[in-house]
Amino acid sequence: MTRSITILGATGSIGRSTSGVIQAHREEFRVEAVVGGRNATALAKIAQDLGAKFAALADEGAGEALSLALSGSGIRGGAGHAAVLEAVDRDADIVLAAISGTAGLAPTHAALKPGRRIALANKESLVCAGGVFMADARRLGVQVMPVDSEHNALDHALAAGSDRDVEKAVITASGGPFRTWTKERIARADAREASAHPVWSMGSKINIDSSTLMNKGLELIEAHHLFDLEPERLDVLVHPEAIVHGLVQWSDGAVTAGLALPDMKVPIANALRNQNRLKMDLPRLDLAAIGRLSFEQPDEGRFPCLSLAKAALRTGGAMPTILNAANEIAVEAFIADAIGFYDISELVERVCSTFFGRNIAAPSTVADALRIDQEARQAARQLLPTLTGTARL
């Protein structure tokens, strides 16, 4: 049976890998709509390659460029908030959610419709509003399948036993480009160096998050919501080869792990198809050729973002929402070369401590989450000029 798919974030790294999976399996999938941020030419090309019926850009001002790029194709285009919502609202069996950052929350949440499957790459949706998102998904009977490689591996590992027997669920981190660097050297790193990921080729925000290990912190919060596991049962292990993606340790000491070569097409195909695996024409894992796999503890001294995210997860309430918002402002400023590497964690820590005493409850609606998100962003922007550390403002 052919399944219809709508892709949010179609022009990004995950979006392009998803297009690759769909193009190699035309008999399985049909594309209903594609959504991008502002690049009309790129979105029009993807819409035509995939035979989508509708293409939407979030940027209101890009409507004319999109119409021009789509002219003669028979594909309808639209721009702005309403167009994105129209794309999300159209009939599709699966919505692949791969907009980057908190910008993905509202459209991904709007995609929750009875009977649908959400293939979720946009982890920030869950970090910002995980309680609301998962509760609404359950209420509407929407299956949320993780695209994030670690969570996709955990999803399968967890199916090997019963939830109450899970002692610990572990996600691995490649360690990013600075795994072996000294703290002094990391302190002087710029966005170009931070983006040189040793294993994965990804979008700019997640690249920086991988270099600070905030990505792993966000993934712990993501795992907490996806699998309903308390913070004490979640852990991170550094594994530079990125072959073992997630491990479940059971109450009898046995461990079930999910392994694959690091290619996002594997978890993407899996999230699109769930238990029915596709036949994928990709290189196979040759453990004898790889020879050895290595593991180490993450160093929270050099990578303080991981401990900040763990603290936010333990604190609960709105703290993950606040952490996530402050991190987005910090990452933007770092990419713009306005602050130094350790100013990212410095800013996140200061914003979190500003809100700490207020004990703000976990958001009860998406609007509530976005209001808290805006308040935390405002606080972060105000604090930006006061950063000393390695700031270059």
Q: Which residues are annotated as a binding site for NADPH?
A: 11-14, 37-39, 122, 124, 203
12, interface contact from Mg ion, ligand NAD, none, CB < 5-8 Å by kind = ligand NAD
Q: CB–CB of 371/217 below 8 Å?
A: no
Residue from 32, 148, 346, 373 in contact with ligand NAD (CB under 6 A): 148
Work out whether 148 is an interface residue with Mg ion (CB under 5 A).
yes
Chain-centroid distance of CA 152 in Å reads 12
The token duo for 305 is: 């973002």
Using CB under 6 A as the binding rule, whether residue 122 contacts ligand NAD is answered as: yes
Q: Is residue 124 within the footprint of Mg ion (CB under 5 A)?
A: no
Burial label for 152, CB within 10 Å (0-12, 13-18, 19+), is buried
Is residue 344 near ligand NAD by the rule CB under 6 A? no
Annotated binding-site positions = 11-14, 37-39, 122-124, 148-150, 174, 197, 203, 210, 215-216, 219
Contact between 209 and Mg ion (CB under 5 A)? Answer: no
Decide: is 35 part of the binding site for ligand NAD (CB under 6 A): yes
Percent helix, percent strand, percent coil in the chain, to nearest 5:
50, 15, 35
Q: Is 274 left (phi over 0), alpha (psi -120 to 50) or beta?
A: left
Q: For the chain, how many helices (H) and strands (E)? A: 17, 11
* Alpha helix segments (H runs only) across the chain: 13-23, 40-50, 63-70, 81-89, 105-110, 123-140, 149-158, 183-187, 191-194, 204-212, 214-227, 265-273, 287-290, 304-315, 319-335, 341-356, 366-383
Amino acid at 72: G
Q: In the set 21, 83, 94, 99, which binds ligand NAD (CB under 6 A)?
A: 99
Per CB under 6 A, which region of 21-29, 203-211, 252-260, 294-302 contacts ligand NAD?
203-211
Residue 321 touching ligand NAD (CB under 6 A):
no
Q: Are 212 and 345 in contact (CB under 8 A)?
A: yes
Choosing from 62, 65, 124, 235, the residue that interacts with ligand NAD (CB under 6 A) is 124
Interaction between residue 14 and ligand NAD (CB under 6 A):
yes
Annotated binding site for 1-deoxy-D-xylulose 5-phosphate: which residue ranges? Answer: 123, 149-150, 174, 197, 210, 215-216, 219
140 closest CA partner among 184, 110, 102: 110
Confirm or reject binding of residue 46 to ligand NAD (CB under 6 A).
no
Quickly count: other Cβ atoms within 10 Å of residue 245's Cβ. Answer: 25
CB of 18 to ligand NAD, least distance (A): 9
Q: How many residues bind Mg ion (CB under 5 A)?
A: 2
**Residue 133, amino acid:** F
Stretch binding Mg ion (CB under 5 A), from 13-21, 72-80, 150-158, 348-356: 150-158
The answer to whether 362 and 371 are in contact (CB under 8 A) is: no
- Report if residue 9 touches ligand NAD, rule: CB under 6 A: yes
Tell me the residue number closest to ligand NAD, measured at CB. Answer: 12
Q: Which residues sit at the interface with ligand NAD, rule CB under 6 A?
A: 9-15, 35-37, 58, 98-100, 103, 121-124, 148, 200, 202-204, 206, 264
Q: Which residues sit at the interface with Mg ion, rule CB under 5 A?
A: 148, 150
